[in-house]
Structure 1
Amino acid sequence: MTNSTVLSVEGLKTYFYLDDNEIAKAVDHVDFAIEPGETLALVGESGSGKSITSLSIMNLIEKPGKIVDGAIYLNGKNIVDLSDKKMTEIRGKEVGMIFQEPMTALNPVYTVGNQIVEVLRKHKKMSSSVAKKRAIELLKLVGFPRAEETIKEHPHQLSGGMRQRVMIAIAIACEPKLLIADEPTTALDVTIQAQILDLIDEMKHKFDMGVLLITHDLGVVAEYADRVLVMYGGQIVESATKQTLFNDPKHPYTNGLLASLPSLDKQTDRLGAIKGTVPPAHRFPKGCRFSTRCPHVMEKCLHANPDLIPESDGHEVRCHLFK
């Protein structure tokens, strides 16, 4: 971790304590860091632990879940054990978050303007008139040509893409050093998806933010990420720069994800697929968590979960094939 590191996650464990004394190890010893102006993509299928990782960073884990170990340094300060009151001061000010579905994240009762103004008044201590003026500026910044009218509208009066732009305006209102985008284009059509991702990238450069981009779409990763973490079974199974990951993937899971992508270079009748599904977090296999789906499974994979080991400079992989 350098002095400028925006976010450093060290040994994070977030478990859910279920009935019958079962423990769901949703996030299990995860480490990574994000620098200013960097986009780190967290990739994996649904159930891999991506969203729980982001909610852990925001300190929004609810019972029966709990962060049981590890540290989360935001701008050099460990926020794991902060009170709800302290975290409320940090959320929105030092870290912004864009959720999957803006219709559920925005309050349907209040106007778009009220929701942006509230953030500015709380964290920036602005007067109502100054906050309203800044809210209009923010709406223009994220692409609203008629911001003066939009500020008076309610979320249900806007399209999905417009609502997501409002979410981005709220997330960047206080110019946070970290922006978490959790599947920010899930509910949008393809052309709007590109606009939203371009906008996030533009805001990253404008405010020199670190961005944690959570997605299952490797096409998005190829376009927008600087570095990539591949997550499976609550653990990072491969970590590399974008170029290294696409040119020299190591982990069988990463290769499976890439094989499922259509390619302009190869003509094929059928795309690749990874057999089976991600097991629930309280039913992970004893050894390597990918062992039940891996085409290269060996005897030791069934008994020992491999460590994340350096494969080359900045490239790490969690697999017995590379020990």
Structure 2
Amino acid sequence: MSDALLEVKDLKTYFFVEDKIIKSVDGVNFTIKNGETVAIVGESGSGKSITSLSIMGLVPKPNGKIVEGSIKFSGDELVGLPEKKMNKIRGNDIAMIFQEPMTSLNPVFPIGNQITEALLHHQNLRKSEAKKRAVELLKLVGFARAEQIIHEYPHQLSGGMRQRVMIAMAMSCDPKLLIADEPTTALDVTVQAQILELMRDVKKKFNSSILLITHDLGVVAEMADRVLVMYGGQVVEETSVDEIFEKPKHPYTSGLLASIPKIEEERKRLEQIPGTVPSADNFPRGCRFAPRCSKVMPRCTDAPPDLLKVEPDHKVRCFLYELS
């Protein structure tokens, strides 16, 4: 019996805009085991957030569509699942912390109402029970005056407080899988550390798995067990968190790591990857990273490389590692 909680196979999520086909996610494969934290990293436009929205069944319609592939959660297929059945899973078994807590929280409803909504919908609790549970959740995420916070509105809270409210909402139904999309973006360093510590505590308490979407490799080092590096809608490297920092294999991963300032090194200028991520409606014919790669070879521009297993727990999409 598989111990995989989530299995994503050959996922392709495209957007159809006028006469263009935007291949935001183009053949992504990965699994998340029970109790595991998997991070997806990459620049903006690499397909990280669309991957998470595909899992949640929240791909923007009518232009966006999962055109191919499979997403299995606890063995059940989610692709093509009727909206009524997806609603029972979304927010209950799979929950998501979105990037922007200010825009994700409804400005016209008190915090308490927004937390109790999921409890009333999924847990069949009475209003008094749901309110009590909301207070407990707010205390769990670090609010000392939770009884007062439930009556306050999002605009009355700081960014860090709103993010903690989002975590409380996400954990309200004890989900098996928590998807966190850039959970520390726009927060100051001290609050970031608090949010990461809170997510670790919540994971331990509820024995949840986490899919962490981020571009911050410092957050990855703190939180992840395994890492997927995405570029141009594809996974270009997959391995354990220790391997990704100690022995990165894909030139893109190496470039990302080289761009991080290190306290033990004196450098006048940080490394940078030249160019930008290619448009998802006009990818290069060969390797999608070839136009920016320092190790590009003639064959890189002719055909796309496959994702190869180069070690028992290390995969890389690069001709440098193709077996002869």
TM-score (norm 2): 0.97
- Partners of 1:296 and 1:247 lie apart in 2 by 20
- Partners of 2:107 and 2:17 lie apart in 1 by 33
- Partners of 1:118 and 1:37 lie apart in 2 by 26
Secondary structure of residue in 1 paired with 2:228: strand
Secondary structure of residue in 1 paired with 2:283: coil
2:47 to 46, 49, 53: 49
Check if 1:150 corresponds to 2:132: no
RMSD: 0.9
Secondary structure of residue in 2 paired with 1:297: coil
Which residue number in structure 1 is paired with residue 176 of structure 2?
177
Which residue number in structure 1 is paired with residue 121 of structure 2?
122
- Partners of 2:88 and 2:110 lie apart in 1 by 22
Q: Following superposition of structure 1 onto structure 2, how do residues 253-272 of structure 1 map, counting pairs within 5 Å?
A: 253-272=252-271
Verify the 8 A CA contact 1:40 1:226 in the aligned structure 2: yes
- Partners of 2:234 and 2:29 lie apart in 1 by 9
Verify the 8 A CA contact 1:100 1:187 in the aligned structure 2: no
Cα distance, 1:188 vs structure 2: 1.0
Q: Following superposition of structure 1 onto structure 2, how do residues 25-104 of structure 1 map, counting pairs within 5 Å?
A: 25-62=23-60, 63-104=62-103
Q: When the two structures are aligned, how many residues end up with a matched partner? A: 321
Alignment identity in percent? 61
Which residue number in structure 1 is paired with residue 133 of structure 2?
134
- Partners of 1:209 and 1:134 lie apart in 2 by 19
Secondary structure of residue in 2 paired with 1:292: helix
Q: Which runs of 5+ in 1 are unaligned?
A: none
- Partners of 1:83 and 1:200 lie apart in 2 by 31
Verify the 8 A CA contact 1:13 1:30 in the aligned structure 2: yes
Cα distance, 1:86 vs structure 2: 1.5
Cα distance, 1:37 vs structure 2: 1.6
Encode CA deviations 1:162-192: one digit per residue, 9 max, x unaligned. 0110100000000000000000111211110
Secondary structure of residue in 2 paired with 1:149: helix
Verify the 8 A CA contact 1:139 1:169 in the aligned structure 2: yes
**Residue type of the alignment partner of 1:38:** E
Verify the 8 A CA contact 1:14 1:25 in the aligned structure 2: yes
Which residue number in structure 2 is paired with residue 188 of structure 1?
187
Encode CA deviations 1:125-160: one digit per residue, 9 max, x unaligned. 000001101110000000000000001111111111
Cα distance, 1:90 vs structure 2: 1.1
Which residue number in structure 2 is paired with residue 281 of structure 1?
280
Superposed structure 1 runs of 4+ greater than 6 Å apart? none
Check if 1:252 corresponds to 2:251: yes
Which residue number in structure 1 is paired with residue 308 of structure 2?
309
Secondary structure of residue in 2 paired with 1:173: coil
- Partners of 2:156 and 2:86 lie apart in 1 by 31
Secondary structure of residue in 1 paired with 2:166: helix
**Residue type of the alignment partner of 1:11:** D
TM-score (norm 1): 0.98
Cα distance, 1:263 vs structure 2: 1.2
- Partners of 1:287 and 1:19 lie apart in 2 by 25
**Residue type of the alignment partner of 2:288:** R
